[in-house]
Amino acid sequence: MNSDFLSTAKPISRLIEELHKLPGVGPKTAQRLAYHLLQAPPEKSRDLAEAILGIKENLRLCSVCLNITDSDPCGICADETRDHMKICVVEEPIDILPLERTRKYRGLYHVLHGVISPGDGIKPEDLRIRELLDRLGSNSVTEVILATNPNVEGEATSMYIQRLVTPLGIRVTRLARGLPFGGDLEYADDVTLSRALEGRQEM
């Protein structure tokens, strides 16, 4: 346990430790958040606790695209106004949010839940690639847009999927290079993402 927590009441020190485990939350930020929650009205802390429990108890993966949802199929897959002939492949559920904010893409999605990374022991069979190929067997999809992050693992994953999809006679495109190599979709601005979608390239 961090020595800074030793003189703190046990419930507070435990909360600080748990907050410190969150990505991007350092010890000082964890302390500020813990004391903010301590001083907040009880209902505020209760609302936060219920919201955290809610995402664990009420969310599941969409049986179609494998996005996180509270209904099955998810709202995107169930939307008849979207273009069901296009599937945009992303690494994680969080990558869908910036693409949706651009309002330039009206097709469907498929979430891989990771990328091929031999160094981390992640192989193609560990991803949701088989589910993607099953979706493509319906003969209704005409284009697969590969929107993995522009880094080594993302490029390797895209090339692997392209080799599987191209023989099916389906157009395979990749987001244009408006995205900086080594960057993540999550942090890309809306204008850059919009241009990347519009300028996507054949693979």
Q: How many domains does the chain have?
A: 2
pLDDT given for residue 197 in this prediction: 75
Name the more confident of 71 and 190.
71
Split at pLDDT 50, 70, 90, the class of 1 is very low
pLDDT tens digits for range 123-148? 999 999 999 999 998 778 999 999 99
34 and 119 together in one domain:
no
pLDDT tens digits for range 98-116? 999 989 899 999 999 999 9
121 and 160 together in one domain:
yes
Fill in the DSSP letter of residue 146.
Answer: E
| Share above pLDDT 70 across residues of the chain, in percent, rounded to a whole number | 86
pLDDT given for residue 181 in this prediction: 53
CATH of the domain at 47: 1.10.8.420
DSSP H or E segment with residue 8: none
pLDDT tens digits for range 15-50? 899 999 999 999 999 999 999 998 999 898 899 989
Checking if the pLDDT of 4 tops 60, the result is no
66 and 45 together in one domain:
no
42 and 127 together in one domain:
no
77 and 165 together in one domain:
yes
16 and 43 together in one domain:
yes
95 and 144 together in one domain:
yes
Six token digits for residue 98: 């910036």
81 and 121 together in one domain:
yes
User: What is the rounded CA–CA span in Å between residue 151 and residue 140?
Assistant: 30
Helix axis angle, 152-165 relative to 129-136, nearest 10°?
30
Phi/psi region, residue 113 (left: phi>0; alpha: psi -120 to 50; beta: rest), is left
107 and 42 together in one domain:
no
pLDDT tens digits for range 50-85? 998 888 888 899 999 999 999 999 999 999 999 999
95 and 185 together in one domain:
yes
Domain boundaries, position 33: 3-57
